[in-house]
Amino acid sequence: MAEQSKKWVLMVTAQTPTNIAVIKYWGKRDENLILAINDSISVTLDPAHLCTTTTVAVSPAFDQDRMWLNGKEMSLAGGRYQNCLREIRARASDVEDEKKGIKITKNDWQNLHVHIASYNNFPTAAGLASSAAGFACLVFSLAKLMNVQEDNGRLSAIARQGSGSACRSLFGGFVKWVMGKEENGSDSIAVPLVDEKHWDELVIIIAVVSSRQKETSSTSGMRETVETSALIEHRAREIVPKRIIQMEEAIQKRDFPTFAQLTCSDSNQFHAVCMDTSPPIFYMNDTSHRVIGCVEKWNRSEGTPQVAYTFDAGPNAVLIARNRKAATLMLQRLLFHFPPNSDTDLNSYVIGDKSILKDAG
């Protein structure tokens, strides 16, 4: 490579959807490796609506690693970015582009620098899992660029070191992040439960209550919870393990009433441990609470759940409707209760056409 011209640039672009947990990850047992205190399960969203697009480029002309997020340069100094870059570089292999006359060996990758440009087509750091789509896409695109020969399960363990929730975005459908037992995190990976075709009548509606950046990031929020909440240990040890088993069964059987009950309860319990944190963390706001009331009331009046709700670390609602008819009726209700241009206007409704989509890339 040394004797080649400094003019070439090699680029790869990838697109990765976000995922929303139906059994939440909240709390780490290892902050550096990002190892969770409980298993979690999520659904991967339709990348047509909520996704990250990342282009990674390498050139001998680059003298340092640099990254731009949504057009603004940001520092790569944080341990998370460095951990992902290091893990991918350690697995790089030879790359040859005959047309461009480029040959990069495994060793060259250790000295070459990358430029990364990433865009989220949805609000960043607003509780719609931008860190999940973001780090999954970063790891996936770097792995492609550096010709890393590892499957998505192994890549998920690297994405996890960027943001825990990111490991689940390497697969489509319903995905489980197994917390693992090993101290080095080698068994803390994402495993696909069922693919996107398994339960394709589900429709996901995202009601954006606020696209503003949240005050408490997920990382610091869960750290404070682990340090101060008396409830979190009970949740992680006693409640979640049972829910994981029940949720896996509900997904396998496409049992919507059980799925909805578990999803709503787990979201509510996650927000309860946030409130049990000192000082308390409030991710939901009055509008979020009104959305919950609206869904609960409708589900009760129908006699069986039509829609499940879940809220991540932010005020925005993710509504999972049992089918297209339920989604349409839900939207009508939302438009009635939260009319556009009113004080509580939910400024956008994003509807997943095919709610659950394919594997990353």
Binding site for Co ion (CB under 5 A): 131, 218
Rounded Cα distance between 20 and 32, Å, is: 23
Q: Per CB under 6 A, does 127 bind ligand ADP?
A: yes
* Shortest Å, Cβ 325 to ligand DP6: 29
DSSP 135-169: HHHHHHHHHHHTT----HHHHHHHHTTT-GGGGGG
40 interface partner picked from Co ion, ligand DP6, ligand ADP, none, CB below 5 to 8 A per type: ligand DP6
Q: Residue 280 contacts by C-beta under 8 Å, 6 or more apart in sequence?
A: 274
Tell me the two tokens of residue 173.
Answer: 């459908």
DSSP SS3 for 321? strand
Mutual angle of helices 79-90 and 152-159, in 10-degree steps: 150
Counting every residue, how long is the chain? 361
Exactly one of 84, 138, 274, 318 binds ligand ADP (CB under 6 A); that residue is 138
* Shortest Å, Cβ 116 to Co ion: 18
Q: Per CB under 6 A, does 217 bind ligand ADP?
A: yes
Rounded Cα distance between 124 and 132, Å, is: 11
Interacting positions 160-189 with ligand ADP (CB under 6 A): 163
Omega into 279 within 30° of 0, i.e. cis?
yes
Q: Is the CB of residue 118 less than 8 Å from the CB of residue 67?
A: yes
34 interface partner picked from ligand DP6, Co ion, ligand ADP, none, CB below 5 to 8 A per type: ligand DP6
Q: Per CB under 6 A, does 218 bind ligand DP6?
A: yes
271 interface partner picked from Co ion, ligand ADP, ligand DP6, none, CB below 5 to 8 A per type: none
69 interface partner picked from Co ion, ligand ADP, ligand DP6, none, CB below 5 to 8 A per type: ligand ADP
Rounded Cα distance between 352 and 350, Å, is: 7
Tell me whether residue 13 or residue 219 sits nearer to ligand DP6 (CB atom). Answer: 219
Exactly one of 18, 40, 52, 169 binds ligand DP6 (CB under 6 A); that residue is 40
* Shortest Å, Cβ 31 to ligand ADP: 14
Q: Per CB under 6 A, does 129 bind ligand DP6?
A: yes
* Shortest Å, Cβ 288 to Co ion: 17
Q: Per CB under 6 A, does 12 bind ligand ADP?
A: no
DSSP SS3 for 98? coil
Tell me whether residue 60 or residue 127 sits nearer to ligand ADP (CB atom). Answer: 127
17 interface partner picked from ligand ADP, ligand DP6, Co ion, none, CB below 5 to 8 A per type: none
Mutual angle of helices 130-145 and 79-90, in 10-degree steps: 30
Tell me whether residue 60 or residue 221 sits nearer to Co ion (CB atom). Answer: 221
Q: Per CB under 6 A, does 21 bind ligand DP6?
A: yes
* Shortest Å, Cβ 232 to ligand ADP: 18
Q: Is the CB of residue 49 less than 8 Å from the CB of residue 19?
A: no
Number of Cβ atoms within 10 Å of the Cβ of 195: 18
Tell me whether residue 46 or residue 338 sits nearer to ligand DP6 (CB atom). Answer: 46
Exactly one of 55, 124, 258, 261 binds ligand ADP (CB under 6 A); that residue is 124
Rounded Cα distance between 82 and 224, Å, is: 24
CA dist 204 → 17, 18, 345, 355 (Å): 14, 13, 19, 5
Site size toward ligand DP6 (CB under 6 A) is 15
Tell me the residue number closest to ligand ADP, measured at CB.
134
Residues found near ligand DP6 in the complex (CB under 6 A): 21, 24-26, 34, 40, 129, 131, 163-165, 218-219, 312-313
